[in-house]
């Protein structure tokens, strides 16, 4: 997932935080885990904590995994997701607009 797409979703979340507070906070958790994944590489290399590598990789993949999970639920009509990229949905491509 590209940074521009993360920003687009975050702006949508901020605009709708009063009507969608749970979704707003869930995205904040995803972004926190993402940031922890990136920053976690420092102790991995500084303290030779190789066991942290899978956690860092999982954290770095969190926004894309969350967006793809939400897109799948949206396609199955189990959950409405208004922040998906409508152009990508119409084109049949990636739902989160890579």
41-87 pLDDT tens trace: 999 999 999 999 999 999 999 999 999 999 999 999 998 888 887 76
| CB-based burial, 8-29: b 16+ in 10 Å, e otherwise | ebbebbeeeeeebeebbeebee
- Counting the structural domains of the chain, the total is 1
Say how many C-beta atoms besides its own lie within 10 A of residue 75's C-beta: 13
In a domain, 97, yes or no: no
pTM of the model: 0.83
Report yes or no on 12 lying in a domain: yes
Q: Which domain holds residue 55?
A: 3-91
Looking at the domain assignment, is residue 96 inside a domain? no
- DSSP letter (8 states) at residue 93: S
* Helix/strand/coil for 68: helix
Does residue 98 form part of some domain? no
């Amino acid at each position: 997932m590209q940074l521009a797409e993360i920003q687009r979703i975050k702006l949508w979340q901020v605009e709708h935080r009063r009507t969608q507070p749970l979704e707003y906070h869930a995205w904040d958790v995803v972004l926190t885990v993402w940031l922890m994944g990136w920053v976690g590489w420092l102790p991995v290399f500084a303290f030779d904590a190789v066991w942290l590598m899978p956690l860092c990789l999982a954290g770095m993949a969190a926004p894309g995994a969350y967006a793809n999970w939400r897109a799948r639920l949206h396609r199955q009509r189990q959950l409405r997701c208004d922040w998906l990229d409508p152009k990508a949905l119409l084109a049949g491509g990636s739902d989160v607009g890579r």
